[in-house]
Amino acid sequence: MTTMSRARQIRYIIVVAVLAVLLLMLLWPQAQLVDIRTVDRGIVRETFETEGRTRVRDRFVITAPVAAMARRLMLEPGDPVRTGQVLVVLDEVVSPTLDARTRAEASARRDAARARLAAAREEAEAARAEAELARAEAARIRSLAERNLVSVETAERAETALQRAEREAASARFRVAIAAHEYEAAQAVLVRGSRDRSGEAVLELTSPVDGVVLKRYFESARPVQPGDSLLEIGDPAALEVEVDVLSAHAVRLRPGMQVELQRWGEEYPLLGEVQRVEPAGFTKFSALGVEEQRVWVIVDITSPREEWASLGDAYRVYARFVLRETPDALRVPASALFRHGDGHAVFRIDGSRARLTPVRIGLRGDGMVEILEGLAEADRVILHPDREIEDGTRVRSR
């Protein structure tokens, strides 16, 4: 064999080898691009979210006790008022003298108002005693907490109980004030009002509490009838949130449960807790026309007042209720899970291969799932696995 024939043979061999390598590269299965997430530890919470609105806890509607001519209102919504401040001045209108029956009815209303005032004072005294007891209990537990004899959670619960008792005592005082106002209004039907400088009979309606004007029902002078609403006042610093939730969710809520108030106007959430789940539901139609049974849930705002000072009455918020949580759970994103037989599974990354791994799951929520068995911390799993991925499929990260 000549040197030229050997060179030609070598070239043929090289060409065949290159073609074989190219063919092998074409036929060799390509590694699929996948999104990968590392299994870690963190909080997993089961929550649900729904829309709610703020409301002033103790609001008072000032109404006309008698038929009269109301003078022009000088107060604007948002104006502060003090206890005893004159809110509305009513001028007497010409009316027939009270007959025996009307006077007897007015006397009965006055006596009933006096009885309600006495009952409100007794309730206020009981609430004050409860607040004193809660204050003493909080002081005792605070002293024990400083010596590490009780848990921090016990001390926080005592402080919360103290705050709730003080609020109940304040509400009781407000009820006494409004009962006294109602008694004065009932008495005013029987007793003529004081005379102003012009000699015309007038009746001055005063504020039962410190607060601000929330709403006024008229501005210019006008005649009013008994029971007509004139002004609405309250304290915007004492806000709570009312949320209507599905009855299926309401049965899982308990007083004291944690709530996060989000999308209220600032980036950070406010903290709250369930105060009360009302026992009666109501029917409501959703935006799609579906009939739903819903329940009112009242939420206390526990974040410092300075953080939500800009909130007002009837402002919209979104309440996220925390039903259950595990603070240190082994977790993966819910998008990594899929149904497998009677349970769940994930694709775990083993080198460059995807391995089908059955898992047992626990709590799930907020896009995360607690893993009880099947994975370990620092394992890597595939997110959103498609149907082309099987056990042993070659994969690589995007």
Q: What percent of the chain has pLDDT over 90?
A: 36
* Res. 261: pLDDT tops 50: yes
Q: What's the residue count for the chain? A: 398
| 348 within 8 A of 296, measured Cβ to Cβ | no
pLDDT value of position 153: 77
d(CA 296, CA 188): 38
In the predicted structure, residue 53 carries a pLDDT above the cut 90:
yes
Rounded to an integer, what distance in angstroms lies between the CA atom of residue 360 and that of residue 210? 58
Query: Residue range 209-231: average pLDDT?
Result: 91
Residue 376 belongs to what H/E stretch?
none
What is this structure's pTM? Answer: 0.58
Lowest mean pLDDT among 106-110, 254-258, 354-358: 106-110
Across the chain, mean pLDDT equals 84
Instruction: Output the six-digit token pair for 270.
Output: 């406010």
Instruction: Please state, in angstroms and rounded to a whole number, the distance separating the CA atoms of residues 151 and 148.
Output: 7
Chain segment 282-321, per-residue pLDDT in tens: 998 887 888 999 999 999 999 998 999 888 888 999 999 9
> What letter does residue 313 receive in the DSSP assignment?
T
Element (H, E) at 154: helix 152-190
For the ranges 46-55, 285-294, 328-337, which has the lowest average pLDDT? 285-294
Q: pLDDT exceeding 70 applies to what percent of the chain?
A: 90
Tell me, what's the pLDDT at 27? Answer: 55
pLDDT digit string (tens) for 165-197? 788 878 878 888 888 888 887 777 776 444 444
Cβ neighbours around 100 below 10 Å, total: 7
- Joined tokens for residue 105: 């009815």
Q: Which is higher by pLDDT, 396 or 25?
A: 396
Question: DSSP character for 374?
Answer: S
Residues 6+ apart with CB under 8 A from 250: 277, 281, 294, 295, 297
- pLDDT the model gives residue 285: 87
Residue 318, SS3 per DSSP: strand
353: part of which helix (H) or strand (E)? strand 353-365
Residue 211 one-letter amino acid: G
Estimate to the nearest angstrom the gap between the alpha carbon of 48 and the chain centroid. Answer: 11
User: How many C-beta atoms lie closer than 10 Å to residue 115's C-beta?
Assistant: 12
Residues 146-157: tens digit of each pLDDT: 777 777 777 777
What are all long-range contacts of 124-129, with beta carbons under 8 Å and residues at least 24 apart?
Answer: 124/169, 124/172, 124/173, 124/175, 124/176, 126/172, 127/165, 127/168, 127/169, 127/171, 127/172, 127/173, 128/169, 128/172
Q: What is the pLDDT of residue 125?
A: 84
Average the pLDDT over 94-122 and give the result: 76
Across 34-38, 65-69, 85-89, 156-160, least confident range: 156-160
CA angle 366/367/369 to nearest 5° reads: 100
* Residue 372: band (very low, low, confident or very high) from pLDDT cuts 50, 70, 90: very high
> How many Å apart are CA 296 and CA 250, to the nearest integer?
8
Residue 346's pLDDT is 93
The per-residue pLDDT for 198 is: 52
